[in-house]
Structure formats: structure tokens, C-alpha cells
Amino acid sequence: MNKPSVKKNIVTRKVKNISTDLSHLDFLLQRIFAARGISSADELNRSLTKLPSPWLLSGMEVMVSHLITAIKTQQKIVIVADFDADGATSCAVAIRGLNLLGARKLNFVVPNRFKYGYGLTPEIVALVKEQNHDVEVIVTVDNGISSIDGVAAAKNLGIKVLVTDHHLPAKELPLADAIVNPNLDDDKFPSKNIAGVGVIFYVLMALRARLRELDYFNSFPEPNLAQLLDFVALGTVADVVQLDEVNRILVHQGLLRIRSGQAHVGIKTLMLISKRNPKNLIPSDLGFSLAPRLNAAGRMDDMSLGIQGFLTDNEQFAYSMTQQLDQLNQQRKEVEAEMKQQATLLLEQMRPSEKHKLMSGICLYDEDWHQGVIGILASRIKEREHRPVIAFAPAGDGEIKGSARSIEGVHIRDVLADIATTHPKLLHKFGGHAMAAGLSLKTHDYPVFALAFDNTVAKHLKGMDLQQRIYSDGQLSANYLTLEFTQILQEIATWGQGFPEPIFHGIFDVIQCRIVGGHHLKLVLRQPAADIFIDAIAFFVDHTESWLGIRQIKAAYKLDINEYRGQRTLQLKVDYLEKIQ
């Protein structure tokens, strides 16, 4: 949670119109869905039949045609993946899916973050060729849309390049043999938010449909591609993309497979080491328990560890890979804690004492910072200061790499594009989304860039109110503070980025408060004048000792279920708390 000393306004979400089509639901649920733009019961239908056609994606016909040729002639296909959770799950879906559809000569390469950087670069093409002398086709997953030089290098070697990506394209596209990306200009696909893993899953669905038309499955059974949805769910949630209707369906269907015990062994071992019960897994478990362990491989070492764990059906081998991921995640936490302390000192030095506030856009750099952790650091500082942040680390050869995180209303890639236009020689390269981006520049250009970033963000922030707010779905009466209602909330919808899990607020008497794990508060609360006692947990609270002895708090919270020794009880997961007395 954010630092308690940063006071926030709790604002109750406004609801203009509640559709009569939702009248069969409890009135509180009607209000919750209306506040999220749901106007019909059909929008809550998470059946696979509700997914839009893959043929709405531009470039799909050409993509499928090339893949059919590659499968029928058994060409060597190499998947080039990104080094985050979306990239790892995309790679697993691509290799497992193509294998299910008859491809037999498959391999993958995932760039090492520290040696090669992101995407299909000429260096990665050379590595692909070195490791796979007979490579005929490269398929990129979760990258490639900005790989102009890399695609050209592959084409010069006679290698076909098929790009599947979801990142925003630049004005110039690579001259690939096929590109499928929902964010291409004039693309008709209704969701612009599907993750890289969703894009490759859609390619496989279209490929299977065309092979079916060609009577390809006469010799062996047509595969059920839904078996890949556990990977799709994890990658989608981990990449923090907007959970629009398409993504809610994909994540929900993946969770159903996991809960029914049909997950792949790599997912099962991640749940085991994360101490998560697959029968009750929810999206936040994917985002906050499984994804960090998987991402730790790309941040601290090599994402090949995670991908190998996803490609094996051997439980012992998968568990061995997962143990290594867990160890890397512990290392990541230690490095992150140290970097956060250093960043806090830098922020205090940057904060003008007479104004007690920072600039519009924050840049932070330390020559000892770990390149794999700067994204998390930027996210932590962004949450605390509520403004766009870029954290930088050394990248060698006189360069630094930055990881940017933004706030609602400031499109961070557009900010970088504006800087690239006004300072054409400043940025070496950049790319990303509205809320997150990556970039690199010369170390000696950092002061100039930091100033340009602050000025450009200030222009994008013009007219915006930077007061931190928590949007609440209201106060709950005691009859809603039950395990039964919490279970209904968890099951009725797929909550996540852009479709936020309901948050409520209220004033509570503090019956008991103790520190757990050094940085968390475990509380027993009671609504004033009520007879029921409610367990609550607040994670990562600064100055935890200062909360001991507090008698009353104002809290913003989510309804949660705590599982302990087979027992499930209601627990409030506190996102924000404020001392009253």
C-alpha cells in the first residue's frame, strides 16, 4: 500500500444510470457494475463463444498462410520471446500450440535482458542463427513491432519473420512477412488491450480454423486449444493490461481450468510454492503471487528458466525450475528494498524545501542500481508520489536504460514520442504502452533528458488535479461484511486493471493491532456500535510502530477470504488507512 503519511481523498464512485437488465442482481452489485460501465447482463457473460473472431485482426490471413506452409513442410520455427511474464507465457503458448497443430521442429530464444536488451535485434537474429543453423522461420511473441533492423537482418539471411505483438507501433513498421497486432492503424479487432499472449493465442485459433477447412485433422484429432488458457490468464494479468470484455473472458476461462485441476505442471508448481489453493484462485493471486516469481527470472537472471518450466510435463523438473524462480524472487525483494531506500534519499534531495513537492515528472538514477528491478522501483515511486516516474540503471557502453511508469491521464509513450520529436538525438530507442514504457540514452544525456521529461510531463498534466484519490464503491453495512457476499463478489466477475475490484470504505474501531512480517499490520476491527469483529490486513505499511495503540481508523478496503488450515474466513484487505484517534 502507499505510504500512510501521503493523505488521500476517498471518493465514492458516481453512478448515473443503473440498467433494468441488471435488476435480478442485489442492488449493491447493480451499483458496482454500473460504475464500471456495465449496462447489460450479456456483458457479464464470460463464455468462450463471446470472443470476437480472430479474422478481425489485420494480417491474420497472411500470418496463417505462412504458418500452414511452415507446418506442412516442417520448416524449423524459432520463437523469439520477451523476457517478462507475458513473453514467457506467450512463448509457452506458441510452442505448445504449434506442436499441437503439427509443427515438430520448434525452438525458442529469449534475449538476456543484461546482454541483448529487448526485442528482435540484429544481435538476437545472429544468436538465433548460431543456435539453429537450419532456422527458416522466426515468430516473435510480445515483441517485434519496433524491430526494423532485426527484421531486416533476418530477411538478409533468408529467414522468414512473422511478428505477433501488442505494443504500440511507431510510424515505420518492420518489413516482416506478416504482422498481427491489434494496435495497428485501421485494425478492426474490438480489443486493443489483449496482451502478447492473447495475440498468439488468437493466431493459433485462426490457424486451427483454417487447417480444419483443409481437412488437416483427418490423420489426428483436432486439438483443444483451450488447454493453453491457463498460460493466457497468467500472462494477461501479469502484463497489467486493461481487463476489457475480451480479456475478462480469457482470464476467467483460464482460471476455470486451473481451479478444475487442468493446469500445466509449470503453473501448478508456481501455485504450490506460492502457497495458493488452485480451487479458489482469483486474478489477484496471478498478479501478486505467481507473476512476481516468474518475472524474477527475467529481472535477475534469464527468463529461459521460466519458459523451460512451462514447456515440461515432468513435475520434478518443473518444481526444480520453480524453486529457482522463488530464490530469484527473494533476491529481487532484497535488491528492491535497498534501491527503494536509496530512491527515497534521492527524492528528499530533489524536493524543494519551501514547496514540499516534486517536479511533474520524476527521473531517478544511480550507477549501482540493478537493471532488472528499475521497473518495480518506478512503479513503487509512482504509487507513492502520484506522478510519472522513470528509474534508470547502467546498461554498459556509456548508456543507461530506463523503465517508466505513469498515472491515469498521462500516456507515457506519447510523452517519450514528444521528447524524441523535440530532441531528435536524445533518445537511443524507446517503446511501450500508455502506462509503462522502456527507453535508453547516453549516460551524459541524463540531465538534459530529466529536464525535458519534467517539462513535457508538465504539459501533459496541464489542467489535471494531482490530488491522490481512492474511488470507493461506498460504505458497507454489517450484513454485507460476510464470507458469503465476499464469495459472490469473487465469482460474479473477473476483476483487474481497468475493471477494478470493488473497494469500500468506513470508520472502524481498532480492537487489536499487531505487526507481522516486519512491514505489515494485522488488525481486528469493529464497526462502531456493531457487535461483529472483523479481521483485517494492511501490507507494507511504513512506520508500523506508530499504528500500535490507535483506537479508531478510516480505511479503504477490499473484501478478501483468508484460508488457514482448511478454514475460510472473511478478511478485509486494507489499501489505505488513516488515523482518527
Q: What Cα–Cα distance (Å) separates residue 105 from each residue in 96, 176, 202, 518, 581? A: 12, 21, 21, 51, 67
Of the candidates 485, 495, 494, 492, the one whose C-alpha atom is nearest the C-alpha of residue 572 is: 485
Positive or negative CA dihedral for 500, 506, 511, 512? positive
Q: How many CB atoms lie within 10 A of CB 545?
A: 7
DSSP 465: -
Q: What Cα–Cα distance (Å) separates residue 409 from each residue in 108, 364, 430, 436? A: 37, 21, 20, 13
Burial classification of residue 270, based on how many CB atoms lie within 10 Å of its CB (0-12 exposed, 13-18 middle, 19 or more buried): buried
Burial classification of residue 477, based on how many CB atoms lie within 10 Å of its CB (0-12 exposed, 13-18 middle, 19 or more buried): exposed
Cell of 428: 537511443
DSSP string, 347-367: HHHHS-TTTT---SSEEEE-T
Of the candidates 133, 126, 179, 118, the one whose C-alpha atom is nearest the C-alpha of residue 154 is: 126
DSSP string, 486-515: HHHHHHHS--BTTBPPP-EEEEEEEEEEEE
Burial classification of residue 581, based on how many CB atoms lie within 10 Å of its CB (0-12 exposed, 13-18 middle, 19 or more buried): exposed
Residue 204 CA from chain centroid, whole number: 22
- Hey, is 568 helix, strand or coil? strand
User: pLDDT 10s digit of each residue in the chain, 581 long?
Assistant: 443 346 789 999 988 888 889 999 999 999 999 999 999 999 999 999 999 999 999 999 999 999 999 999 999 999 999 999 999 999 999 999 999 999 999 999 999 888 887 889 999 999 999 999 999 999 999 999 999 999 999 999 999 999 999 998 988 999 999 999 999 999 999 999 999 999 999 999 999 999 999 999 998 899 999 999 999 999 999 998 999 999 999 999 999 999 999 999 999 999 999 999 999 999 999 999 999 999 999 999 999 999 999 999 999 999 999 999 999 999 999 999 999 999 999 998 887 654 556 789 999 999 999 999 999 999 999 988 899 999 999 999 999 999 999 998 899 999 999 999 999 989 988 887 788 899 999 999 999 999 999 999 999 998 787 788 899 999 999 999 999 999 999 999 999 999 999 999 999 999 999 999 888 999 999 998 888 899 999 998 888 999 999 999 999 999 999 988 888 999 999 999 999 97
Residue 472 near residue 503 (C-beta atoms within 8 A): yes
Q: Which domains does the chain have, with CATH numbers?
A: 9-43+469-579 (2.40.50.460), 51-326 (3.90.1640.30), 342-461 (3.10.310.30)
Angle between helix 229-238 and helix 85-100 axes, rounded to 10 deg:
160
